Amino acid sequence: MAMLPKNIPRPEESQPAPTRWYDRKKYLNINFQVQNPKDVQIDIQETFIVLSCKDADDNNIYNYIAFYDKVNKYDSQEKVFDRTITIMLRKSKEHVAWPRLQKDPDLKPNWIAVDFDNWRDWENEEDEGMAEYEQYVDMIQDLGTKKVGPPAMDDLDDLSD
C-alpha cells in the first residue's frame, strides 16, 4: 500500500466521497460528490491527490488517489460547489488515454467510477470537441467569479391576457 501524505492527515473515523472521473486529451476531471462540503483541504501532487473535508452531517470525508500517470500540479483547478468538489488536472502526457484513474490495476475501490455522462472516446476524433471543452473550462472558471442576480420576471403579466 502507498504511503499516505503527512500534510493532510487521515481523520480517525472517515469515509471516502463517491468519486466520478473522465478523461480528455489534455485534462482529467474528477468530481467528488459531497453534500455541502466544508473545511475543504485538497493536496494535488504529480502522482496523487488527497481530499479531506466534512459533509453536511459533519462526517469526515477523506479520499486518497494515487494517479495512473503524472499530472501537472501547477496547471490544475479546483472548485467547491454545494454538492460536488470538481478538480480539473492537466496530464503530463497529453493525448495519452488513461485506462483507469488509479495507478494500481488491482486496486478497484467501489467509491471510484467512470463518469459515462461526460466520457468521450477522443482518441479517434480530431479537435472538434476541444472548443466545447474549452467553453466548459471557461464556464467553470467564471462560476467562481460571476454573481448573477435572478432573472427579470416583469414580462409575466403578458401571459395572463
The reported pTM is 0.72
Predicted pLDDT at 17 = 96
Q: Which of 129, 37, 126, 123 minimizes the C-alpha distance to 87?
A: 37
Predicted pLDDT at 116 = 87
Rounded to the nearest 5 percent, the helix, strand and coil shares of the chain are 15, 35, 50
Predicted pLDDT at 1 = 42
pLDDT tens by residue, the chain, 161 residues: 445 555 676 667 899 999 999 999 999 999 999 999 999 999 999 999 999 999 999 999 999 999 999 999 999 899 999 999 999 999 999 999 999 999 998 988 999 999 988 877 765 555 556 666 676 677 777 766 655 566 666 666 666 55
DSSP 1-26: -PPPPSSSPPPSS-BPPPEEEEE-SS
Predicted pLDDT at 35 = 96
